[in-house]
Amino acid sequence: MVQHNNNHPPPAAKTSIILPTYKERDNILELVQAIHRYLEPQGFNYEVVIVDDDSPDGTADVVRAAFGDDSRVKLYVRTHERGLATALRYGAEHSDGEVLLFMDTDFNHDPAMIPQLVKFLEYYDVVIGSRFVMRGGMEDSTRYAFSFIYNLGLRFLFHTGVWDNLSGFFAIYRSRLLELNLDQIFYGYGDYFIRLLMVGWRRGWRMLEIPVFYRLRTHGHSKTQFLNIFSQYSLAILKLRLKLWMGRMR
């Protein structure tokens, strides 16, 4: 029988949805509207926190024009720092919710899955949207195959028991996240998520993966070069293994 996670706030707690943006003017309006569409009918208590790295395409202007009077939408523009991991941390630190939900802004991550991710926090410490559990997947079959193989390697190296260590689509309680040394986690690109899961797993966190399906981006171009990003991840993984060996990651 599954037991409730009694150390956490109730499931009706406020959720902060953290959206990092850079040159996403063609996606951000539609995404925030979709979030409202899926959450409003369910009476969700939520806010949308957009962290824009001073996008030259006017992403922030689109947000201001469309949601300037919407108290549920917060916009922060960073002019002195850029990067996915630090943007996510910035959003978490400038949000109000007891629940934090992190997702991409290119519709890889389906906003329809937000209620399910948050709901299961009643029973788990981290709930992850996973491409590699039953009924999960990706529209790009080549990337799916490479990502699956890469994740098998990560499972072998770090023994986390998680199938999708590169997801980045997840829900967690703020109190859990703040247990960690964020300086050791939130740097680089998507490799922050590998470090987060590894440290959480070593602390005994209960983790659940629910199936998600990544569709191709409909607007704009991906800012990740596939081979370059996996080279970057591999270097980050080697450094992480060294830190573990030296006992510097807790």
pLDDT tens digits, one per residue of 23-80: 999 999 999 999 999 999 998 999 999 999 999 999 999 999 999 999 999 999 999 9
> CA dist 245 to 32, 185, 239, 250, Å?
42, 17, 10, 12
pLDDT of residue 96: 95
| C-alpha–C-alpha distance, residues 173 and 119, integer Å | 12
pLDDT of residue 2: 45
Q: What is the pTM of this model?
A: 0.85
**Eight-class DSSP state of 138:** E
pLDDT of residue 242: 65
pLDDT tens digits, one per residue of 219-232: 555 555 556 666 77
pLDDT of residue 149: 86
pLDDT of residue 1: 43
pLDDT of residue 190: 84
pLDDT tens digits, one per residue of 113-133: 999 999 999 999 999 999 999
Those residues with Cβ within 8 angstroms of residue 40's Cβ, 6 or more apart along the chain or in another chain: none
Mean pLDDT value across residues 148-156: 84
| C-alpha–C-alpha distance, residues 26 and 232, integer Å | 27
Task: Indicate whether 21 pLDDT > 80.
Answer: yes
Confidence of residue 163 (pLDDT cuts 50, 70, 90): very high
Mean pLDDT value across residues 192-212: 92
pLDDT of residue 243: 67
Average model confidence (pLDDT) across the chain: 87
Q: Which CATH class is domain 15-246?
A: alpha beta
Mean pLDDT value across residues 155-164: 84
Mean pLDDT value across residues 88-96: 97
Task: Indicate whether 237 pLDDT > 80.
Answer: no
For residue 49, list its beta bridge partners.
18, 74
